[in-house]
Amino acid sequence: MHEMECRVLSIQSHVVRGYVGNKSASFPLQVLGFEVDSINSVQFSNHTGYSHWKGQVLTADELHVLYEGIKLNNVHHYDYVLTGYTRDTSFLEMVVDIVQELKRANPNLVYVCDPVLGDHGSMYVPENLHPVYKNKVVPVADIITPNQFEAELLTGKNISTEKDAVEVMDLLHKMGPDTVVITSSDLPSRLGDRFLVSLGSQRTLMPDGTKSTQRVRMEIPKVDAVFVGTGDLFAAMLLAWTHHYPNDLKTDGLHLMVNLRGGREQR
């Protein structure tokens, strides 16, 4: 990546204690050669899985002020936008406006969206974020990385089999994104119960104008521990490897699994 500067605008959470959001995503991207400009959607003492947490939520107006400052200095030229956790609908709508403006300036810009809504059957953000993600955010995204619960929520379809998962990914394709990765699922692994199943689908425009679809199934070894921030790391590493291999989701997945395993072993 030394031949050219590749710049990412990362709009995610920040915590004082721990590693989630921008603290999970920014440094690994920088190690891989990306320049990362970070905007913190929230600034909390710690992630919300703790019994107590304190902090501030960035408003849409405050996000707009930060973005205007970047524009006034003419340093708002990005190759990627990466977004994760937020708790405010107007903030999320402002993110969409920023992404659309940046895409007008650079039609090749890639928007990677982790639609953080919840997991294991329950939401951990306000429910009014759901329609904003579904109707406004996902349609402008190029790559999305929902977990199974989020994919089901966005499409209104349950996943019980791999066939269901493929249908859900196709529904998400129809909503906008060309690359969809269901980062974790409850589907049984062919390698046994010590593995987690992740599924991906990528549509590629062929020279003749048709679209080819590549499907990927990843069996990820489970670790007997509780981790936070792995979804944020997953989305960041997917961004990195799709930059190197934009039309080869299988290769992206192989590199991603190595990065995730290394990241967990460092915790």
Q: Choosing from 79, 88, 232, 252, which is the catalytic residue?
A: 232
Whole-angstrom distance, CA of residue 169 vs CA of residue 199: 9
- Closest by Cα among 217, 228, 224 to 194: 224
> Is 232 marked active-site?
yes
Which residues, at least 6 apart from 91, have a Cβ–Cβ distance to it below 8 Å?
A: 41, 57, 58, 59, 60, 63
Does residue 194 contact residue 221 with C-beta atoms inside 8 Å? yes
Strand locations in 77-206 (E): 80-83, 110-113, 118-119, 122-123, 143-144, 179-182, 195-205
Does residue 67 contact residue 38 with C-beta atoms inside 8 Å? no
Given its phi and psi angles, is residue 22 left (phi above 0), alpha (psi -120 to 50 degrees) or beta?
A: alpha
Whole-angstrom distance, CA of residue 136 vs CA of residue 153: 15
Does residue 112 contact residue 143 with C-beta atoms inside 8 Å? yes
Q: Which residues are catalytic?
A: 232
